[in-house]
Amino acid sequence: MATLNLTLRGAGAGDERRLWDFYQSTLTDTLPVPSVTTIRKALQRGSLLIGENTDSGAIVATAGYFEYIKSIDGHIVFELAGTRVTMGKLLPFSLQQIFLALRLFQIVVTEDQIKRQISVVSSARHRRSQENLVCIGMAEIDAMPRWMDYDTYSWAPAEHKDWRHYVADCACVDRALIILQHVGLEGGRHQCRCIRKKNDGSSEQIDVHLTYQLPIAALLASCVQARAKDEVICGLSSLPQTV
């Protein structure tokens, strides 16, 4: 059975051009490339993750969170976006689900939830992407604030009604902790299987040896212990109605 050695790490300034190339190579009608400004801001914030073939160094997956908007009173809305996966489906948790869990966890432990209000949203057009968001507990936004409804027309005017928009709450963070425990974040390594399609259209299973190079891994145990004691670690807020 084939083996893939995969490293998940934070992207740095030296990865910028490689990220341009990767996003361009995965461009579709519903997956436009992030702007240079958006990528640079995320790199400065440390909010872009890379899945890298450990042996070849090739980027095979990305995910990030980006500052969507900041209200006049300082309420920040982050968007989970920029996810691209080109290596098949990991089992039992897909790489998309692992990326969702990592980004929610990173926001909770690195962004200041005490001095400012923080909300987290994500949008999806395709059923599988929508299912991933629901799987981690994100709730579809039934009635979007006027500013958000207006803003979606700026990037999806023709397909506006095809997109679904979701918001995270603290229950999502609890779910993220469970996923990250299962996939070995604390120990820094995880072994699983991947289903990927071959050139002839058939499928094959490969062994995946996953290595995490993420400083936030050191914070997982204390967060899990705190939740076991019913201590509050999450301060995510509902969406602001005005910005």
Mean pLDDT computed over 148-172: 87
* pLDDT for the residue 115: 76
| pLDDT level of residue 199 (50, 70, 90 thresholds) | confident
Mean pLDDT computed over 170-175: 94
- Structure confidence by residue, pLDDT tens digits, 44-61: 999 999 999 999 999 999
- Structure confidence by residue, pLDDT tens digits, 57-96: 999 999 999 999 999 999 999 999 999 999 889 999 999 9
Residue 232 token pair: 């509050």
Q: Who's near 45: CB < 8 A, 6+ residues apart? A: 67
Residue 241 reports pLDDT greater than 80: yes
Taking the domains of the chain in order of start, what are their residue ranges? 3-228
Mean pLDDT computed over 196-204: 86
Residue 228 reports pLDDT greater than 80: yes
Residue 227 reports pLDDT greater than 80: yes
Q: Who's near 202: CB < 8 A, 6+ residues apart? A: none
Residue 113 reports pLDDT greater than 90: no
Question: What is the model's pTM?
Answer: 0.94
CATH class given for the domain over 3-228: alpha beta
